[in-house]
Amino acid sequence: MSKVFKATPLFDAHKAFVRLPMGMAMFNDYPDSKAFIESLCITIPDVRDDVMHTQSFLKSYSRKSEATFRGYRNEVERLLLWAWTVANKSVIQLKRPDLEAYFDFVHSPSPDWVGASVQDRFKIIGGESRQNENWRPFAAKIAKEDRAEALAEGLTLEASRDGHVLSHESMKICYSAVSCFYDYLTDEGYAFGNPIPAIRKQSAYLIKGATQKNIKRLSDLQWETVLDCAQTAANDNPNHERTLFIIAMLKTLYLRVSELSERSNWQPAWKHFWQDNDGNHWLKVLGKGNKIRDISVPSALSPYIERYQKYRAAHDANFGANSALVCKNRGVGGMTSRQLRRIVQEGFDLAYEKMQSEGFVEEAKALREATTHWLRHTGASQDIATRPLKHMADDLGHASMGTTDQVYIQSDMKERARSGKTREV
């Protein structure tokens, strides 16, 4: 008999969280969360203090970026819910054996903690943020290729909640976030120390010396087809000029999708394209870690920039240097990462259909797995053989050339295998 999930989400999305007051007043419009916390305080008196210190911790990290907040919020919220409902303890009462048990649980969570899909924590009902009954701290995933094939056949797939296991990378994030949390609690005098570094050293879930870092990228045929389909769509329908521009930008400038999207602290605009005294063209972006960098813009990208610029000027009398770099076809302002991903996916779908019709079945099938980030990897993988490593690292936004080397040189297993086949005994 399956267990019933008996916890309640605590902290809302970044946009809502940063506007909420401190203290228990934060939960005035979250009656389910408030009732959950109050009921736990009867048996675990320190729960309210756990909440207050976690709230302060998240407030401090919410200042850096939405992505940082979301990562810490997810990990710390899981820890709180497990401590209260499974261990029946406050987070400051958890000893080393408890925390080791927690990481065992996180690596392979109970099915009742796993949702069939990613869900919002809350739903607005009657002006209040009520618990979304379908939300769970973990979410099972269906492979993108399987989901696409099911949709094409008119079927609905539901991810299995049994046997859900976190990846090596996810466990690294978990250890890091929880360790940072205990460091904060110790600095605030609430916890008596941070046991996580010692636990992490003995962890069986952190594997060192991985032999293959298989980056996901488009093959030459897939990329040529994606670009050709986007170009044809733009020629046939001017509304697709935006699709062509986005796809060309992400691949050629090695952009993360967030670097084209509008965020609370950065709005990509046409003024961010600039030219130096030697006539070289650059694009200024805000990357990971709130770091601004300038990316060199190749001459080959200019026609794609100019045609989208021409399209924008023809459809917006107020178009200028301060206009959003990528805008909605209807409405005002820039676009979110989710909206940009949806547009890129439409381009991938067009390429998939073309490859299928031309008999490239396996290449088409592999394209079903592609995500927006594959464009960044594709551009970097193609250019790494002809550009200096330092230049690549700077344009990619890598703090170290070692990262660029590790990701884009040492990981190209196909090329390594191809060159290795001709070796003599």
Q: Are residues 341 and 403 in the same domain?
A: yes
Residue 208 lies in a domain: no
Domain end marker among 201, 232, 259 = 201
Longest dimension (CA), the chain: 76
pLDDT at residue number 424: 74
Q: Are residues 193 and 245 in the same domain?
A: no
Neighbours of 289 (CB within 10 A): 11
Residue 206 lies in a domain: no
Q: Report how far apart, in Å, the C-alpha atoms of 123 and of each of 69, 226, 305 are.
A: 20, 38, 40
Range of the domain at 368: 220-420
Q: Are residues 280 and 183 in the same domain?
A: no
Helix (H, G, I), strand (E, B) or coil at 53: helix
Residue 4 lies in a domain: no
User: Taking the model in full, what pTM does it have?
Assistant: 0.67
Q: Are residues 355 and 295 in the same domain?
A: yes
Residue 25 lies in a domain: yes
Whichever domain contains 240, its CATH number is 1.10.443.10
Residue 7 lies in a domain: no
Q: In this structure, what is the dihedral angle of CA atoms 158, 161, 165, 171, given to the nearest 10 degrees? A: 90
CB 408 within 8 A of CB 392: yes
* Residue bearing tokens 């939300």: 135
C-alpha triplet 341, 68, 380: angle, nearest 5°: 50
Residue 330 lies in a domain: yes
Residue 85 lies in a domain: yes
Q: Are residues 174 and 277 in the same domain?
A: no
The tally of domains found in the chain comes to 2
Q: Are residues 173 and 252 in the same domain?
A: no
Residue 425 lies in a domain: no
pLDDT at residue number 411: 47
Q: Are residues 192 and 237 in the same domain?
A: no
Q: Are residues 61 and 112 in the same domain?
A: yes
Q: Report how far apart, in Å, the C-alpha atoms of 280 and of each of 92, 301, 391 are.
A: 56, 13, 14
Q: Which pLDDT tens digits describe the chain residue by residue (425 residues)?
A: 357 898 999 999 998 999 999 999 999 999 999 999 999 999 999 999 999 999 999 998 888 778 889 999 999 999 999 999 999 999 999 999 999 999 999 999 999 999 988 899 999 999 999 999 999 999 987 655 555 565 666 655 555 556 678 888 889 999 999 999 999 999 999 999 999 999 999 888 876 654 445 678 899 999 999 999 999 999 999 999 999 999 999 999 999 999 999 987 899 999 999 999 999 999 999 998 788 999 999 999 999 999 999 999 998 889 999 999 999 877 678 899 999 999 999 999 999 999 999 999 988 988 988 999 999 999 998 898 888 889 999 999 988 887 777 777 654 555 656 666 676 77
pLDDT at residue number 129: 95
Q: Are residues 238 and 150 in the same domain?
A: no
pLDDT at residue number 416: 59
Q: Are residues 275 and 306 in the same domain?
A: yes
Q: Are residues 197 and 250 in the same domain?
A: no
Retrieve residue 1's tokens.
């008999």
Q: Are residues 241 and 381 in the same domain?
A: yes
Burial class of residue 20 (count of CB atoms within 10 Å of its CB; 0-12, 13-18, 19+)? middle
